Amino acid sequence: MRYLLLFVFVVSFLFPVTLEAEEMVSVKLMNHIGDTSDLNIQLKGDYVTLDPTFSLKKGGNYTLSVKKGKFILEGDGNKQKIQAPFILIPKSYDKEHNIYINERPYLGAVEFRIEEEKYVRPVNQLPLEDYLKGVVPFEVFPSWGIETLKAQALAARTYAVSHINKEIKDTIQDQVYEGYSWSDKATIAVEETSGEVITFQNKLINAFYSASNGGYTENNAHVWGGKAMSYFPIKKDPHDPVNPWRFTLHQTQVSMDDINWDHPNWWGEIKEKDEEITTSMKKSLYRKGYMGDIKILSIPRFELSKEQLESKRSVKGSITIEFLQRLPEGTVLFQQLALDDVKLDRIRPMIGGNRFKSYLIESLEMNDELYTMKGKGYGHGVGMSQWGAHFMGEKGKTYEEILQFYYPGTTITHLKQK
């Protein structure tokens, strides 16, 4: 946190006019970068650093790497060790100053940190409104109507302001942010609603939203616990297009009888039938502490409990996974993981959220050793349905009307300027 405070101080010193006008947002860049030990950095415009021992060339192309827990910067024929954190700050904040990280442009300043002594982690800091211009066209389709884009802008702004003293990830864990990759229409939506946020009883709300609620909104307490908020009612949504989905899963992925145990490469020959799903299962097993290589054999049990919420969403289920675990020294173990009558948020990651899209499940059946699950919606269903907002806009509803439908009883409020 001390680095973040230093970062804010430096940017405040260089951009005093900007800071007086609006808040600054710090975004941890993860979505397109992942965990990597080196990054390509290109500079458009003049940038400065806090290290007086060297300067960066305008338009320079550099590689920043982590080696033995230290930063190495290479470029323009030079190679040198530099202290972490490494901060790049534009001499002027404008569209002519961009930092390209792995060919993706970002406005503002970027702090580069070392994570786990081996990864480079950039943190982008820029004004709130410009951050939103890199969010809105990637949270919804930028071709959608202007009123829908404005509704999304307010939801995104409210979320960002409520997390203003924290670092926001550029992923769906917070809000998808793509840097200086703006859309003209979304930019207009942000600018025409500048400073507007959603409040309830003079306090910022948690402006949750999801792609589709499947035709029925959900209350926050059912998803995350805590106090049930009145502006997250459970009700039918006639605007949401429902978005039906289904996926199938073979009960037997690999038959033990089909394994040629005498073949020297028998492990490499094993192929699961549903590799995308079994990859998600393996990731879940690794998170639970299983080491080495894993091959999924079968899912002998996968079922839902009868309990449902008022919104018709399922709550609990059971799953059993049988698998082979090959330890680093070569020993192969037969393992079984059984989750009995647990909350579905423990099972859904094993299947993958892109397939098991919501808890608004219509059916789960097993025929001929094939599980088939059918459902509606995409996401948690709390707050605004982005697809519902789209169709409300298509029907002539204003962004105020859209927000009032999805966050009833709330008020649109203007942020106080600094």
- Residue 365 CB-half CA count within 13 A: 7
pLDDT of residue 82: 84
Residue 239 lies in a domain: no
Residue 152 and residue 105 share a domain: no
339 forms beta bridges with 319
- Among candidate residues 112, 95, 109, 110, the one with its CA nearest the CA of residue 180: 95
Listed residues 127, 154, 174: the one ending a domain? 127
Mean pLDDT of all residues in the chain? 91
pLDDT of residue 53: 66
Structure tokens at 134: 């890199």
Residue 230 lies in a domain: no
Residue 311 lies in a domain: yes
Structure tokens at 200: 């309830």
Identify how many contiguous H helices and E strands the chain contains and give both numbers.
12, 23
- Residue 126 CB-half CA count within 13 A: 30
Residue 54 lies in a domain: yes
pLDDT of residue 61: 87
**Chain segment 182-223, per-residue pLDDT in tens:** 999 999 999 999 999 999 999 999 999 999 999 999 999 999
Residue 65 lies in a domain: yes
Q: What gap in Å lies between CA 372 and CA 212, rounded to an integer?
A: 21
**Chain segment 281-321, per-residue pLDDT in tens:** 999 999 999 999 999 999 999 999 999 999 999 999 999 99
What separation in angstroms does the CA of 50 have from each of 62, 86, 89? 17, 8, 9
Q: CA angle, corner 151, sides to 197 and 18, nearest 5?
A: 45
C-alpha dihedral sign at 172, 175, 179, 185:
positive
Mean pLDDT, range 265-283, rounded to an integer: 95
Structure tokens at 277: 């799903």
Q: What gap in Å lies between CA 330 and CA 342, rounded to an integer?
A: 33
Residue 251 and residue 348 share a domain: yes
Who contacts 358 (Cβ-Cβ below 8 Å, separation ≥6)? 212, 214, 245, 313, 375, 376, 377, 378, 379, 380, 381
Residues 348/361, Cβ–Cβ less than 8 Å: no
Residue 33 and residue 121 share a domain: yes
Do β-strands 293-304 and 411-414 pair in parallel, antiparallel, or remain unpaired? unpaired
E-state strands within 162-286: 167-169, 196-200, 203-204, 209-210, 244-250
Count other C-beta atoms under 10 Å from residue 384's C-beta.
26
**Chain segment 221-256, per-residue pLDDT in tens:** 999 999 999 999 999 999 999 999 999 999 999 999
Residue 371 lies in a domain: yes
200-205's contacts with Cβ under 8 Å and 24+ in sequence apart are 200/229, 200/230, 200/231, 200/407, 200/409, 200/410, 200/411, 202/413, 204/158, 204/161, 204/162, 205/158, 205/162, 205/229, 205/231, 205/407, 205/410
Residue 9 and residue 117 share a domain: yes
Residue 189 and residue 115 share a domain: no
Number of domains into which the chain is organized: 3
User: What does the DSSP assignment read for 14-64?
Assistant: H-HHHHHHS-EEEEE--TTT-S-SEEEEEEES-EE-S-TT--PPTT-EEEE
Listed residues 127, 149, 165: the one ending a domain? 127
Instruction: Indicate if the pLDDT at residue 264 is higher than 50.
Output: yes
Range with lowest mean pLDDT among 16-30, 63-77, 224-238, 254-268: 16-30
Instruction: Indicate if the pLDDT at residue 132 is higher than 50.
Output: yes
- Among candidate residues 43, 118, 114, the one with its CA nearest the CA of residue 76: 43
Residue 297 lies in a domain: yes
> Strand 361-367's sheet: what is its strand order?
244-250, 370-376, 361-367
Residue 301 and residue 195 share a domain: no
Residue 320 and residue 260 share a domain: yes
Q: What gap in Å lies between CA 314 and CA 376, rounded to an integer?
A: 12
Residue 153 and residue 103 share a domain: no
Which one is predicted more confidently, 61 or 407? Answer: 407
Q: What gap in Å lies between CA 352 and CA 374, rounded to an integer?
A: 14
Residue 407 and residue 367 share a domain: no
Count other C-beta atoms under 10 Å from residue 305's C-beta.
15
Instruction: Indicate if the pLDDT at residue 16 is higher than 90.
Output: no
Range of the domain at 145: 136-223+381-414
pLDDT of residue 76: 77
Residues 364/373, Cβ–Cβ less than 8 Å: yes
Tokens 């192929």 -> residue: 271
Residue 119 lies in a domain: yes
Residue 142 and residue 81 share a domain: no
Instruction: Indicate if the pLDDT at residue 2 is higher than 50.
Output: no
Torsion angle in degrees (nearest 10) through CA of 27, 29, 30, 32: 130
Residue 97 and residue 21 share a domain: yes
Q: Percentage of the chain with pLDDT > 90?
A: 81
Mean pLDDT, range 374-401, rounded to an integer: 97
Residue 389 and residue 323 share a domain: no
